[in-house]
Structure 1
């Protein structure tokens, strides 16, 4: 079976069909970070594109921000590679990526980068009778599944990790991303950390040559939503998505063995445990949070990032975009938690707001 799913989700400020989150209703604009939201009568529309990982929370924030200010935020979930391409070509007001850009790339393209929330990439399965969190896997076994070396659910390696589960004698179908994806980057970065063979033969990138792609046991879907759709409909399949997609689709995620040797479940607590780091230690706040050593850390935790130009062609639109994220930092934490994302610490938000001073208008003055 060789399938290809192509989905493009365009998120307006009033459209949450793909999100599944509940609106918190109209809110009063705040400006603790120094930004003043546009007037509630504003006809401004902010455009962004990129990672599907944060799509649920960006959609929720967009709805709430529109209710509070009248400003619309249209976000296209097209994958991290697409988001980088769009911001570099200056066709959007902000780009979004889950794979942080290096300082060299940021400087070369005249960009700044900052994180918005932290979440987790989770393996999901469609195995009859298996409940969320019931199936246990370790990194080496997960890598062998995606290398095509473990092809059946009742393989001895999987049974050894799950002696109390009646696993079927059924071929495993691996599901992966067809598009350039920060979710894929974080997933393959983790597999590279736990499997020397994966690191040397496949590696970590937004797009890789999937070992099972040339066989009948590999299937590609576009976006987190595409992978979730395939796993939901293909029996005995395994895929990887941002945790919110797994919860919204009532899918069975797996429990993973972390670097400390503990089997952990994806949750706000385990994502937070993985995010205990010095955000200012890396240019552009570009921390990679996979395979952290904390005893409670989820092994495939990840931040998601925004990209804007330091010298934008339209300073007012970029100001509006930064005002949106300033509002989200002030007002959007509750929505983040409801959708199983970890808000950034207040001190990190302060550092990010300071970095926004690099974004200047034609006269060299900060836009915000």
Structure 2
């Protein structure tokens, strides 16, 4: 127990972790690895570090089960955080300042250093209580999730090191909630990022040239924006953002000066396709619009993620049944949803392993990637209690 003025050791560990600036770009993970290895050592647990590329470490901390032949439980989080604008913060974003209300301000409090420490602190309780479970529990700390995980989880799942973990189920990050209903992510939309490039007749801005890049580009752009409008209508009808396809024009490029009609223009788009959308039909439709607009207009794909099968939330998934049962015992309210963005879980699901995204942060303003990101220490400690029960159930055959 802590005295009135003594900080809970779990909170202290959380704040120390937040004070390590694993911030993009050019993240230095070395101090973070040292911190995590120290945490493992303090519990008498083995840890290992696997480098997916130079300076791209994956840290694994293991709590060995009594039946190692059983599939293991993987608790995953990422070490990296997004950039900050210090002048927009009330407190230094890597100071982990705690105010009189117990709010801890730092980049990564919600996304997602809290969850990584909550995993460890739940396991620390098991160690202190000398508890053992049937299944082995692995806790992974990944690099580069905030920039797509290409040299993190995307690579790691293809390695012998990952296969040796014998993972049967994974818990990953969710999202804070402004009320008592916790989002539970069981799938994610598919990312499609592309350019529409248009070439046409160049010339002086005083003339009305035929077949210009702009008029052909705008034909396709308007078609795509009409598609966007139809998806927005679904939101007004009560559908969740994870259930619809988001379409956003994010870049416009071309031209040299105002009195010159350019030979080429382009528009860039970020699309997140709903799980029931066939990307091949989308590509065929966009290609058709390009052809319809005239010669010299084409689709250039920059990034397309493989579509993944959502994790089943029914009686066929025993992991889900145990997870749900523990949440029911604690009176937790869950909102199963498709994640509107995409995290490391997608790489887990792509290889056929079920995964759920879950961050127990109720009555908390959603501030991931925002200025003055914070988490209250009571909410943080309550999350440890929640994980303590859930992990125990999942690790028991």
TM over 0.5: no
Q: Which has the higher strand share?
A: 2
Which structure would you say has the larger Rg? 2
| TM-score (norm. length: structure 2) | 0.28
